[in-house]
Amino acid sequence: MSYFYGIAEAGSTSATLACDCLAHRFGNADDHGVRECRYPTDMSDAEWAVVRPLLPVPGWLRGRGGQPEAYCHRAILDAIRYLVDNGTKWRAIPVDFPPWDRVYAFFRRWRDHGLVEEFHDRLCRQVREQAGRDPEPSAGVIDSQSVKADAVVDSESRGFDGGKLINGRKRHVVVDTLGLLLAVMVTAADVGDRAAAQVLLGRVAAAHHRLALVWADGGYTGSLVEYSLAVLAVVLAIVKRSDDMRGFVVLPKRWIVERFFAHLMRSRRLVRDFERSASSAEAMVYWSMTQLMTRRLARPRPSRA
């Protein structure tokens, strides 16, 4: 478990800073001033109030070595949100953000140390609590999405999905009944759904001990149903489409994960797979969902009579 911002409140002696991130309080971010919010993806003050206590404390502030950071944490987060939402290149990040190489170093550090998943999961628990649900889900939905891969994706991590006729990668996801992401795994597009689901369900069951039921489509039938019940203690319920159905039909529970994929398609960085590594592709999915959840948490709640 990482140390988060809330632990570093004690010892702060400055109450007049324009930005209250740790890079401004204890680092060297004052050398670059405070950035003015100007893009739709920039966090509002209400969103920053939600995000700030969940950010990990830098290693240099915990006595683990390294130089104090020179760029505002809030500005770096806004830069990553801008890139994911608008689909720009790393080198094309606008100049009012910190330098692109510093933003990418931040992204890479969070990706390699699992901090983006931990940050995402903390936000997810808060969204569930705000909706009146238990922080840990007991049911979920599993599905996959094949997307075309850019030329930077090498042949070893891409494949051809014969069913969708797509040459690229496949995103295997499990979401809860609110449509929030529980886990994602990116593979080549030619990897079967059942083979990937066996690994993915194992990860989800280990991380969420209350999970007892997962809905899936007809592509997950077979030995996976028995494996999930015997090994993972998870009931895999298959929601099949009737043979006499014509056109678009909303199927129970399966529409939840389809709505999740529709949200991913609103992030232009995720319309195609532009990442050289599968771990970066998974991190982009987590970052897209963090933007959705911070907006939900910062949204004014209607008053009850």
Contacts 24+ apart (CB under 8 A), 205-212: 205/232, 205/233, 205/234, 207/121, 207/182, 207/183, 208/136, 208/137, 208/182, 209/136, 210/134, 210/136, 210/137, 210/138, 211/136, 211/137, 211/138, 211/139, 211/140, 211/182, 212/138, 212/139
Distance CA 162, CA 219 (A): 14
Q: Quote the mean pLDDT of the chain.
A: 89
Instruction: Provide the pLDDT for residue 247.
Output: 58
Q: Confidence band (pLDDT; 50, 70, 90) for 26? A: confident
Instruction: Provide the pLDDT for residue 34.
Output: 81
Distance CA 124, CA 175 (A): 11
Q: What is the pTM of this model?
A: 0.90
| pLDDT tens readout for residues 82-125 | 999 999 999 999 999 999 999 999 999 999 999 999 999 999 99
User: Between these two residues, 112 and 7, which has the higher pLDDT value?
Assistant: 112
Distance CA 204, CA 183 (A): 6
